[in-house]
Structure 1
Amino acid sequence: MEVSISNYKVVGSTKISDLKSHEDFGASKKKLEKELEKTREKLGELQDTLYAHGKYAVLVCLQGMDTAGKDSLIREVFKDFNARGVVVHSFKVPTELEKNHDYLWRHYIALPARGKFGVFNRTHYENVLVTRVHPEYILGENLPDVNSVADIDKEFWDKRFEQINNFERTIAENGTLIFKFFLNLSKEEQKNRLLRRLNKPNKHWKFSPGDLKERKLWDSYMDCYEDILNRTSHPHAPWYAIPADDKPAARYIVASILLEELEKYKDIKEPELDADVKARIEEFKDQLQNE
């Protein structure tokens, strides 16, 4: 049940067609859930220490096609966290206020404070993903040099990738530990999950006809994801390609990577009491016991 990080970390040139979409470790769902439970308990303890230490923030970025399991992964992996120490942001279609700022603005203001975990459910990468598949969406940003789709050329996207890389480099250099997870769902499994939503009345609310329209653009999305993985995976902000066809396994892999990587930061520890206060611990105990 050990997770080998090197199996999932994106290093060098990567082709999505070569990545695994299924992993279950040959274990039952119950076994995987038990392993996740043990791992997330340790993560919860580490989060308490991170909060007390107060010098690092942790940003967890989740990307994947519709039905990849982002919501349930967040629920299960961060279940044992203190509520004050983790903030989840689900980025939808930009509001008018957000469109009146640069595209990274809403992500900047949602970044976790030092001592906290921030989880981005869909991320700043939507700006080189959905808008790349649908370049007409860029026109809604009202940019000075973009008057038609014809103005959105290779140079435009190269610039966006450079801006995103600079954004991540800046926050990493200022104490944010970045983890980016691409939930690699197969097209066949997405079909099965969409059908389950349609077959279960209590899941109908999750379905949108737009899901089927986007599914027809699967290959375009995979091309964009492949470009994202290859152009933006760096030591300070690595991508991890997580097989997502088996949800319990995907959750366990993500939790294990977070725990193993964060445990490498040996300076994350609870602050020590002032020497004078520490020397008087017994005195303070006596005061309370003798009230």
Structure 2
Amino acid sequence: MKLSNYKVPCTKNIKLKKYKTSEGKKKDNQEIKENIVPPLVEKLKDLHLKLNAQEENGIMVVLQAIDAAGKDEAISYIFSNLNAQGLKVTSFGKPTEEDKKQDYLRRIHAGEPNRGEVAILNRSHYEDVIATKVHNLLVDEHDDIFEQRYRQINDYERYLHENGFTVIKFFFHMSKKEQRDRLLSRMKNPDKHWEFSISDVEERKKWNQYQIAFEDMLNNTSTRHSPWYILPADDEWHSRRIITEIMIKVLEKIDPKFPKISGKDKKLLDKYIKKLENE
């Protein structure tokens, strides 16, 4: 699979409608789920364990999408298979009244990874250039408020990158028809009612505005140090495969290693091995 096909270039603007929401892989869901993704997850687990043991670098994963696009399912399957000790998941909803008293990036700090961790943001600081634009929440601000925020977000992510924390971002690109089908599935199945919110249908009325906001976000914040990847989210298991392969690629570039014991500690280790063997 050519992962670069999903990467948003930082040197030119893209048109979101030119990216596929499906590559016809839905029919292969069972094959991908049972035979392709599991060995990839095992490889990801091994690399993540080394990252956690080494405690030198961290990774912040941003998952952004419109409602029902598959963020929660990606977290549930792929990332829940990783070592819990080195995993952190933070979900962001609407800013609280306390959040509104602070700078808009402040609350994101709580979701940042420690060294050795993979931190997942289910929604993120990008809500402050998506929801705010779609709902005209910054009408009292200056005209170039969004250009300013794009720059600030890029600077923030560059700061993390330069301090050993890779930021990798996934946008779940879903068709309007697929969202309709998934929302209806939730609405008609009592066991899925807990997943459904009336606001999901209300927000759907602003579909076109969201697509414009997403495209603007992708074009202004996909950088060399913190790129966006556009997932064909109608194909749920194909998208999870892409996420897993990209995460593997990121970790292989970091190339974490298990720490080695040497010197005085190695001598003590050998001493206690003999002691236990002689009990």
Q: Which TM bucket (shorter chain)?
A: over 0.9
Report the equivalent of 2:252.
Answer: 263
Contact 2:29 2:236 in 1 (8 A): no
Report the equivalent of 1:203.
Answer: 192
Equivalent residue pairs, number: 276
Q: How far does residue 155 in structure 1 lie from its aligned partner after superposition?
A: 1.1
TM-score by length of 1: 0.90
Any stretches of 5+ residues in structure 2 without a counterpart? none
1:214-262 per-position Cα deviation (integer Å, ceiling 9, x unaligned): 1111111111110111111011100000100011111111011110222
Any stretches of 5+ residues in structure 1 without a counterpart? 139-148
Q: Distance in 2 between matches of 1:274 and 1:97?
A: 49
Equivalent residue runs for 1:140-155 within 5 Å: 149=139, 151-155=140-144
What is the CA RMSD across the aligned residues, in angstroms? 1.6
Equivalent residue runs for 1:208-219 within 5 Å: 208-219=197-208
Contact 2:48 2:251 in 1 (8 A): no
Is 2:101 the partner of 1:100? yes
1:43-85 per-position Cα deviation (integer Å, ceiling 9, x unaligned): 1111110011111110000001100010010011113211111
Q: Distance in 1 between matches of 2:237 and 2:24?
A: 8
The alignment partner of 2:144 has SS state of: helix
Letter in 1 for 2:143: K
Specify whether residues 102 and 285 from structure 1 end up closer, same or farther in structure 2 by C-alpha distance, changes over 3 A only: same
Report the equivalent of 1:245.
Answer: 234
Contact 1:24 1:249 in 2 (8 A): no
Report the equivalent of 1:28.
Answer: 28
The alignment partner of 1:23 has SS state of: coil
Q: Distance in 2 between matches of 1:274 and 1:19?
A: 51
The alignment partner of 1:129 has SS state of: helix
Letter in 1 for 2:249: E
Moved more, 169-178 or 95-104: 95-104
Moved more, 24-33 or 184-193: 24-33
Specify whether residues 74 and 164 from structure 1 end up closer, same or farther in structure 2 by C-alpha distance, changes over 3 A only: same
TM-score by length of 2: 0.94
Moved more, 18-27 or 236-245: 18-27
Report the equivalent of 1:274.
Answer: 262
Structure 1 stretches of at least 4 aligned residues deviating more than 6 Å after TM superposition: none
Contact 2:62 2:120 in 1 (8 A): yes
Equivalent residue runs for 1:46-65 within 5 Å: 46-65=47-66
Contact 2:65 2:71 in 1 (8 A): yes
1:65-123 per-position Cα deviation (integer Å, ceiling 9, x unaligned): 10001001001111321111101001011122222211100102320111101000001
1:146-170 per-position Cα deviation (integer Å, ceiling 9, x unaligned): xxx2x33431111111111111111
The alignment partner of 2:94 has SS state of: coil
The alignment partner of 2:81 has SS state of: coil
Q: How far does residue 192 in structure 1 lie from its aligned partner after superposition?
A: 0.6
1:120-154 per-position Cα deviation (integer Å, ceiling 9, x unaligned): 00010000000111123x4xxxxxxxxxx2x3343
Specify whether residues 207 and 26 from structure 1 end up closer, same or farther in structure 2 by C-alpha distance, changes over 3 A only: closer
Q: How far does residue 201 in structure 1 lie from its aligned partner after superposition?
A: 1.2
Specify whether residues 236 and 186 from structure 1 end up closer, same or farther in structure 2 by C-alpha distance, changes over 3 A only: same
Q: Distance in 2 between matches of 1:53 and 1:133?
A: 42
